[in-house]
Amino acid sequence: MKSLADILKYKGRSSPFIKGVLSAALVDNANIFIEKNWGDGGKKLAQAIYVKEGVLVIACLSSIMAQEIKLKERELLSHLNQNYSDIPVKKIRYLS
């Protein structure tokens, strides 16, 4: 028999509200990663928008910036999946 704490932990993680909060934190962390690697210029040219069904969507104003992020895609994915294991990101989609 499971304890009440275990049941609440499980129910809390499967809650749509908690998933939304974790998704927003993941998107924010992706934006921090972009700013950390490419500075303010990168922040102006690319922004993570949302995550849905394991796909992180990043809007890019420059195809060159999209290529730069693509070069560090594995690093970005591993960084996000380490910090947010409840919402695994499998791939990145670029909007331009």
State both tokens at 51: 């995550």
Mean pLDDT across 9-35:
83
Provide the domain limits for residue 85.
Answer: 4-95
The CATH number of residue 40's host domain is: 3.30.300.180
Count: domains in the chain: 1
DSSP code for 96: -
Q: What is the pLDDT of residues 31-65, one digit of tens each?
A: 999 999 999 999 999 999 999 999 999 999 999 99
pTM listed for this prediction: 0.83
Cα–Cα distance, 62 to 15 (Å, whole number)? 37
CB contact at 8 A, 81 and 29:
no
